[in-house]
Amino acid sequence: MTLDEKISMLAAKNVWEIPSIGRLGIPSLKVTDGPNGARGGDFFDGTTAACFPACVSLAATFDRQLSHQVGRALGQEAITKGAYVLLGPTVCGHRSPLGGRNFEAFSEDPFLSGALAIEYVKGLQNERVAATVKHFLGNEQDTRRFSVNEVISERALREIYLRPFEMVAKQADPWCFMSSYPKINGRHVDAQSKFLTDILRKEWGYEGLVMTDWGAASTIEGVKYGLDLEMPGPPRQRTAEAVQAALKEGRISASDIDQRVLSTLSLLKKVGKFSDRRYAKKEEAIDRPEHRALIRKAGSEGLVLLKNDRNLLPIDIKKSKRIALLGPLANYAAAHGGGSASLNCHYKVSPYDAFSQRLGDSVEIAHSKGAHIFRVYPELEADCTNDNGNPGFSAEYFETPSIEGKPFRVEEFPRGYFTTMMNTYAIGTRSVRFTTNFRPSVAGNHYLSFSGIGPSRLYIDDKLVADQQQSTRDAMAFFLGVQHEIRFQYNFASTKSYRFVIETHPSPPENAELYLMEDQTSIHLGFIPQTEMEQDVLTEAVELARDADLAICFVGNTTQWETEGQDLASMTLPADDSQDRLISSVAAVNRNTIVVSTTGVPFEVPWLDNVTAFVQAWYAGQETGNAILDVLLGEVCPSGKLPISWPKQYEHTGCYGSFGLDSYESREVEYVEGVYVGYRWFDKHWGEDKQARFPFGYGLSYTSFEVRDAKLEGSIKNDATTKVTVTAKVSNTGQWAGAETVQVYLESPAVDGLDRPVKELVGFDKVSLQPSEEKEVRVEFGREGTAYWDEGQGQWKVAKGKAEVLLATSSSPKDVETRLEVNIEADFWFGP
């Protein structure tokens, strides 16, 4: 390869593809988002794809085999989009319940995250599709993530934030890693040798490719520090001129470039682009029955039953002939969160769909939204026709700031939203005209909203009705669906057509913390009919609940509220307490009230004592409605366990006052809680008012279990191959077939002068049992389970003494089934 050819391989050629070199027969390679579905080349409205449960839902199953199966199916999905690299899984921890992207990651616990990610990666790569473990490192908040400096102790880095990545790197051999945006202790990950070279490659022996998050290349020296590939293209940091200059000045070397290019060539070989000639192909929408079944199974097994007074669940259809389905998410399929995890699903099943299809002939079903939770108004879509006579809008792109003459490109959009972001055909756009002809089917003083990334104007029949003179404050949040809108009403007749014309210009570069958002244009035009907006849905819902045998409130977040790009503002359900009022009002008139929540995070539950049952459903994929109904009807016995702690309120968490929106204008956040993340924090404060509402690992069942005859064999020694083996017998003592997860925690010996967590998860095993059936669970752990990071020595240390081994069904001391002991004869150090 010539030097120029090597340099061309240091960055992608466009949004999703690695460059090819025809002269040498080096093919291009396509990548695709994301962790719960292969979206393909279009960020919005692209080829349909299967949507799997979010990783937090998958983590709630505590099922390694299921994670493996989902990974394998995702590999098959990626191939249908002509991609052989999937951008997932996300293994960053849940540091705060306000994390906007928590749903995309597995857990607050590094061991659980690592264990399930290992199987996800193995399953994916069994299809010869590369996994991309992300985001390495410190991507726990989305507020100011492009510029924030995170101050994290070395011990917290090693014990909490690096550990799941280490487990996956060593045990699953992922073919790709993705670096992150934030600075860690003053420098970006790719601007220092510590993380990508010293730890990832040298200490852990990683030999795969490392790519950037989109736009996260911070310096040309990343070529020297182990960053193989800048994404997306065309290059920003690694232009031919910049690389040649860095070579000349000695900031990078020719051997550095060779190493980076070899990583890319090795990836091409692993996925079969050389030997098997797996050519890029046209994207396909293949809706496989076996994927439907897997998504439904994984979704239902991830549901967590948090309360079930009077054994109201499962629903007895014989006693519940009138069921009220209430809440803003009753007829909304909460398949996924927002951002990179969103996709155009093959289909989505809402709870209302599932109930109607399965029970509509035998049960009287009533429905009411009960609350409006719009963060932004839904895009105007119905009754719109573009100038080509097709449904929707037209966008005309101009290369000059003045909107005149002939546009250089015209595209059609199905609804009142467009963006040039991730659109390689729109590069060079300096202004856009976005138009439609709207003929409302119903007259009224309807509600509209309007916003753009850059300065924008909306005309209706040539009359200026909305003028946004300034750029939006947060361009990335806008792109991901969180707009700050101009809202107004407009009186429409149903007998005429209205001409909508929007003129918009790019946001100035200084408004974008991420260069990818520079010179981008986007528009959002929202619409709600007057009758829908002004309807008293709360009163309607209460009346339906009063007359029902069973009232089920479906509440939670939508992609507008829980999304990449913006953290949550509080630990309360949106919007303006409307969902809490709905639940309390319904519970006051119906003693058989069930709450089903779909979020990726915990939230305050002021109504908990007044409802009979509470189910956490997460984002369960395209089969979410069926998965929920399977559990509510008892066709699936709930077996999910919380992969997170559920605080009573945000102020009780360890990171309170040092996360995200607590200091939006700040460019620095300190991880003040150190190693005390999640249940480690609540264990430390056990007995105080700060204990969790629901502990990590908690989940009820329709049946009951007994754990007995626990045994321990082996010892902890300074040998990576020596393991401690814990076994126990689990029996199903109830009347339902079900599954139980036995969790093994370790209480390590005390160390003078060192503050250590009370206990830490070192293993788990899940067994499915018929009534009266008994099986053995088995968990192994080694020296890593009791080691802590000795900052003075820069090594892992195991302290001598007696360690307590706890077999439990949650992290709560109340749920410890038995205790065993293992003796550690002497102090020792190992690694890194």
Give the per-residue SS3 of 661-700: HHHCCCCEEECCCCCCCCHHHHHHCCCCCCCCCECCCCCE
Residues 436-474: pLDDT tens digits?
999 999 999 999 999 999 999 999 999 999 999 988 877
Q: How does the average pLDDT of the chain come out, rounded? A: 95
| Burial (Cβ within 10 Å: 0-12, 13-18, ≥19) of residue 557 | buried
Cβ atoms within 10 A of the Cβ of 55, count? Answer: 32
Is the CATH number 3.20.20.70 carried by domain 289-374+535-638? no
Span 708-728, mean pLDDT? Answer: 96
Residues 601-659: pLDDT tens digits?
999 999 999 999 999 999 999 999 999 999 999 999 999 999 999 999 999 999 999 99
Measuring CA to CA, which residue among 535, 537, 16 is closest to residue 280? 16
- Hey, do 289-374+535-638 and 705-830 end up sharing a CATH topology, with the first three levels equal? no
Residues 292-305: pLDDT tens digits?
999 999 999 999 99
Under 8 Å between Cβ of 38 and 49: yes
Choose the CATH number for 705-830 among 3.20.20.140, 3.40.630.30, 1.50.10.10, 2.60.40.10.
2.60.40.10
Residues 556-605: pLDDT tens digits?
999 999 999 899 999 999 999 999 999 999 999 999 999 999 999 999 99
State how far the Cα of 391 lies from the Cα of 395, in Å rounded to an integer.
13
List the 828-830 sheet strands across, edge first. Answer: 788-790, 795-798, 828-830
Residue 116, amino acid = L
Residues 521-533: pLDDT tens digits?
999 999 999 999 9
Q: Where are the domains of the chain?
A: 289-374+535-638, 384-533, 705-830
Residues 171-224: pLDDT tens digits?
999 999 999 999 999 999 999 999 999 999 999 999 999 999 999 999 999 999
List the 149-151 sheet strands across, edge first. Answer: 187-188, 183-184, 149-151, 668-670
Confidence of residue 519 (pLDDT cuts 50, 70, 90): confident
Is residue 107 over pLDDT 90? yes
State how far the Cα of 30 lies from the Cα of 86, in Å rounded to an integer.
9
Residues 656-710: pLDDT tens digits?
999 986 555 678 999 999 999 999 999 999 877 888 999 999 999 999 999 999 9
Is residue 810 over pLDDT 90? yes
Residues marked as catalytic: 213
Measuring CA to CA, which residue among 696, 684, 685, 722 is closest to residue 798? 722
Which residues are CB-contacts of 749 (< 8 A; sequence separation ≥ 6)? 786, 799, 800, 801, 802, 803, 824
Residues 219-262: pLDDT tens digits?
999 999 999 999 999 999 999 999 999 999 999 999 999 999 99
| pLDDT at site 757 | 98
| pLDDT at site 364 | 97
pTM for this structure?
0.96
Q: Assign 402 to helix, strand or coil.
A: coil
| pLDDT at site 517 | 83
| pLDDT at site 514 | 84
| pLDDT at site 309 | 98
- Angle between helices 289-302 and 624-632 in degrees, nearest 10: 50
Is residue 50 over pLDDT 90? yes
- Torsion from C-alpha of 284, 287, 288, 294, nearest 10 degrees: 120
Residues 302-326: pLDDT tens digits?
999 999 999 999 999 999 999 999 9
Is residue 351 over pLDDT 60? yes
State how far the Cα of 420 lies from the Cα of 246, in Å rounded to an integer.
32
Span 126-131, mean pLDDT? Answer: 98
Is residue 546 over pLDDT 80? yes
State how far the Cα of 343 lies from the Cα of 228, in Å rounded to an integer.
28
| pLDDT at site 418 | 93
- Of the chain, the end-to-end C-alpha distance in Å amounts to 36
Span 41-55, mean pLDDT? Answer: 93
Span 156-166, mean pLDDT? Answer: 98
Element containing residue 703 per DSSP (H, E): none
Alpha helices in 25-172 (DSSP H): 55-60, 64-80, 110-125, 154-156, 163-172
Q: ∠ CA 765-766-771 to the nearest 5 degrees?
A: 135
| pLDDT at site 612 | 98
State how far the Cα of 141 lies from the Cα of 156, in Å rounded to an integer.
16
State how far the Cα of 637 lies from the Cα of 550, in Å rounded to an integer.
20
Q: Look at 360 and 157; give whichever has higher pLDDT.
A: 157
For domain 384-533, the CATH class is mainly beta
Which residues are CB-contacts of 184 (< 8 A; sequence separation ≥ 6)? 137, 138, 149, 150, 152, 157, 195
- Torsion from C-alpha of 247, 252, 258, 260, nearest 10 degrees: -130
Residues 729-761: pLDDT tens digits?
999 999 999 999 999 999 999 999 999 999 999
